[in-house]
Each structure stands twice: as C-alpha cells, then as structure tokens.
C-alpha cells in the first residue's frame, strides 16, 4: 500500500490541479508569439517610456542649449536692418520732423554690437552654464541608475514569482492527489478519518497557496508591463537568469569605483561651482559696462548708393555708404540696493551648495557601506539557501525511501514536501534580493 501511495504522489506532478480554477482579470492579449525580453531589453524599453527618465533627458538637453546660449552672449552680435522712415511734408524740404533730412528716408545698416563687462572678461556666465550642464548630466546618470533599480526589482520579482508559481503548482498537485488517495483508502477501511482530514487541510492550504502564487505572478507581470510598454502590452516573457548573477567585487574595488563615478557627488560639486559663478556674476553687476556698436550702411532719401540730399539738392548725387560708431560706458550709481541684494542671495545659495556637497559626500559613503553589506548578505543568503534547498530535496528523498520501507508515514512525506517548497521559494527570493542589491550598489559605483 505504501508503494502504491508513493507512486501516485510521484505521478501527480504531471496531473492537473484539483479544485476550481481561478479566473483573474487580465488585459487584452496581443496577437502573435510573446516577445522574449532580457534585463538589458527591459532597461532599454523602460528608458523610452519612463517619465522621470525622459524628464532628466529633457533637462540635460536644455542645459546643453543654455551653455550654447551663454557662450553666444559673450560674442559680438551682427544684425542687418532695413527701414523706411516716412515724414509729414511741410514748407521745408526736410518735412516737419527735424530728426529727418527729407520727407522720405531709407536705412540699410549692418550692425555690430559688443558688450565688454567683467562677465565678458571672466566668462562667468559661460562657466555657470557649463556647471549647470554638468549637473544635468549627473542627474541624468542618477535617473538612469535609479531606473535600473526599479526595472531590476520588477524584472526579478516576476522571475521569482514564476519560479514560486511552478513550485507551488507541483505542491498543490501532490496535495490534491494525496487527498484523493486517502479518501479511497478510507472507503476501504485502511486509514483513519484523521488522515483524510489532515490531507484535506493540506490540499486546501496548497490550493490557496497556488491561487496566491498565481495572483503574485500576474501582478508582477502587470507591474513590469507598465514599465516596458507604452500601450500596456502584456505579450512578453522574461529570461530567467537568476543563476548567472555577476560576482560581488571586493570592497576596496567598490570604494574606488564609488570615488571615481558617483553621480550624486558630481552633481553636488557642479552645483557648488555654478553657485560660486553666480556669486561672481552678481558681484560683476556692480562694475561698469562698456559697449561698442558699429554701423555700416547708408541712411539716405533714396534707396541707392548715390542719392541727392533733400535738404541740399544743389550738391547733386552724393555717396551714401559710411560707418557710424557708438561707444557707451555705463556705471552703476544707485539702484536702491537691488544689486547688493542679489549678491547676498547668491552668496547664501553658495553656502547652501557647499553644505549640500559635504552632506552628499557623507551620505554617499554611508550608502556605500550599507549597500555593500546588503549585497554581501544577500550573496551569502543565496549560497546558504541553495544548500538548504539541496538538503530539503535530499531529506525528501530519504523520507521517501523510509516510507517505502514502512518506517515513516505519509504525513512525513507531505511535511518534507512542504519544507522543500519553502526552501525553494526562499532560495528564489534570495536570488531576486541579490540582483536588486547589486543594482542598488551600482547606483553609487556604476556598472561592474
């Protein structure tokens, strides 16, 4: 009889789950074969769809354009202008407006303008824009690494739930088959009623565990679909590569990578540089500004290179081309304290940026230790729980042998099966935890 029950339990792994099926709500499935997505594919898709990441991309592009504009403000500007000036006629040939020399006047000018100030000489606006661009690039890198953590968590959460789904499904099949066998044996009077009750409890518990595993798997699939598809397409499968996780480098190497490539510290450093340049710009506003404007072209009563002057027609046609230069020196005298106030504001922000930098350095060092210890612990958990799962499988094999020899009960077989399910589930969770810990550590160090 023991051999009959054991054989039935072994065969039950290929049989359908007993009990009513569960019908979970699902999004409409796309036609065609599901796409096979790796973690790299998931990261690439998420970058195209994630709002936070795309906002960081837009900020980086905008900061790059700010740098170009800041550089342009330091260089001379050249513009061309064409004007017609109409005047009310009067008794005089120049019309009624004394600023004109005729009833009609035309201007064709090529204008060169250059401001020479302390900002022009020190190029402080350009340095500030460069620092702002570096800050935006660092924040883009922060967003990239943060998105990698989010995607990694969702990706391996789905992988782990799929593994646990398969494990719980096998356990539910075995529990359902075991209940059926005990019911048959009760009718034959070969087992006690208590064995049937225990088998029924076991089957119901495994059925509920199977439903929960189904729900968890579908929820994880939906969460990843939100990140990957702009149309919420669930027609994809993921590659299970938990067993090929990269090794954890030594802490000395990790610390060196963090010192070289930490985007948070780089962003804080560049923000401090931008604030210091803002102080320089505010201080330069208190200094004089010299500007030059050179004009080449003509201003005549006819649109021509040679024209008759309306006020002196007796001179005949005269050349109209010429130049006109304006030199201007502006000295700030009194502005009711506005420029001083801006200087005080910029100095306060510079002090704030300095404090932010030092705090970021301390916080990132703390994060480095915390994240490395988490990765180290998760790696140890993977190795330990792998051994536990192997021991649980060996324990089940030995109990099966004892059962065949009549030295153990069927309930001991079921208990060993439950232990194996728990051990494998814990091992799967540890694998996902280690992957997530590596992704979080790489937000500080960069890829390794």
- Over residues 336-352, mean pLDDT: 95
- Report whether pLDDT(30) > 80: no
In the prediction, which pLDDT does 438 show?
Answer: 95
6 three-state secondary structure = helix
pTM of structure:
0.81
11 — pLDDT class (breaks 50, 70, 90): very low
In the prediction, which pLDDT does 26 show?
Answer: 61
Higher pLDDT, 24 or 292: 292
**What residues contact residue 113 under an 8 Å CB cut-off, 6+ apart?**
76, 77, 78, 79, 291, 292, 293, 294
What CA–CA distances, in Å, run from 444 to 73, 364, 399, 402, 439? 37, 7, 48, 53, 9
In the prediction, which pLDDT does 300 show?
Answer: 87
CATH ID of 2-17+36-74+123-287+332-445, from 3.40.50.620, 1.20.1600.10, 3.40.309.10, 2.40.50.140: 1.20.1600.10
Domain 76-122+288-331 classification at class level: mainly beta
> Using one digit for the tens of pLDDT, what is the confidence trace for 161-192?
999 999 999 888 878 877 887 788 778 776 67
Rounded CA-CA distance 68/188 in Å is 90
Rounded CA-CA distance 235/245 in Å is 26
In the prediction, which pLDDT does 187 show?
Answer: 84
In the prediction, which pLDDT does 38 show?
Answer: 94
- Report whether pLDDT(16) > 70: no
Match 């998420």 to its residue by tokens: 46
**409 burial via Cβ count (<10 Å: 0-12, 13-18, 19+):** middle
- Report whether pLDDT(18) > 60: no
Q: Which two tokens stand for residue 73?
A: 């403000």
- Report whether pLDDT(342) > 90: yes
> Using one digit for the tens of pLDDT, what is the confidence trace for 186-228?
787 766 787 788 778 888 988 999 999 999 999 999 999 999 9
What is the residue extent of each domain of the chain? 2-17+36-74+123-287+332-445, 76-122+288-331
> Using one digit for the tens of pLDDT, what is the confidence trace for 404-420?
666 777 778 788 888 99
Lowest-confidence segment of 115-124, 164-173, 308-317 by average pLDDT: 308-317
Largest CA distance in the chain: 139
């Amino acid at each position: 009889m023991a051999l009959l029950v054991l054989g039935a339990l072994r065969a039950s792994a290929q049989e359908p789950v007993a009990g009513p099926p569960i019908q979970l709500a699902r999004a409409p499935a796309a036609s065609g074969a599901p796409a096979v997505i790796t973690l790299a594919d998931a990261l690439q898709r998420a970058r195209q769809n994630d709002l936070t990441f795309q906002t960081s991309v837009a900020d980086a592009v905008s900061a790059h354009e700010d740098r170009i504009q800041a550089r342009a403000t330091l260089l001379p500007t050249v513009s061309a202008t064409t004007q017609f000036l109409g005047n009310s006629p009067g008794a005089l040939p120049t019309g009624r407006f004394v600023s004109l020399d005729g009833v009609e006047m035309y201007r064709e000018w090529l204008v060169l303008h250059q401001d020479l100030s302390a900002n022009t000489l020190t190029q402080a606006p350009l340095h500030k824009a460069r620092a702002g661009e570096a800050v935006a690039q660092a924040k883009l890198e922060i967003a990239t690494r943060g998105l990698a953590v989010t995607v990694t968590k969702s990706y391996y959460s789905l992988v782990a739930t799929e593994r646990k789904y398969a494990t719980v499904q096998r356990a539910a099949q075995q529990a359902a088959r075991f209940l059926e066998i005990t019911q048959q044996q009760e009718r034959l009077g070969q087992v006690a009623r208590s064995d049937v009750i225990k088998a029924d409890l076991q089957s119901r518990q495994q059925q509920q565990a199977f439903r929960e595993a189904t729900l968890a798997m579908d929820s994880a699939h939906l969460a990843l679909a939100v990140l990957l598809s702009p149309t919420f397409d669930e027609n994809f499968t993921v590659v299970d590569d938990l067993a090929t996780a990269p090794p954890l480098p030594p802490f000395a190497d990790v610390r060196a990578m963090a010192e070289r490539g930490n985007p948070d510290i780089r962003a804080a450093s560049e923000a401090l540089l931008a604030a210091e340049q803002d102080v320089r710009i505010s201080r330069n506003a208190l200094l004089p500004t010299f500007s030059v404007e050179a004009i080449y072209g003509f201003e005549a009563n006819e649109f021509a290179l040679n024209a008759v002057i309306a006020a002196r027609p007796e001179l005949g046609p005269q050349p109209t081309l010429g130049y006109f230069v304006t030199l201007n020196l502006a000295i700030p005298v009194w502005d009711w304290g506005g420029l001083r106030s801006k200087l005080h504001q910029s100095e306060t922000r510079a002090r704030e940026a300095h404090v932010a930098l030092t705090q970021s350095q301390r916080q990132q060092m703390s994060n480095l230790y915390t994240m490395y210890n988490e990765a180290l612990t998760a790696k140890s958990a993977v190795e330990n729980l792998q051994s536990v799962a192997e021991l649980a499988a060996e324990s089940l094999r030995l109990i099966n042998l004892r059962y065949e020899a009549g030295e153990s009960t069927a309930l001991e077989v079921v208990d060993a099966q439950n232990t194996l399910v728990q051990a494998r589930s814990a091992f799967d969770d540890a694998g996902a935890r280690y992957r997530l810990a590596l992704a979080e550590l790489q937000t500080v160090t960069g890829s390794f």
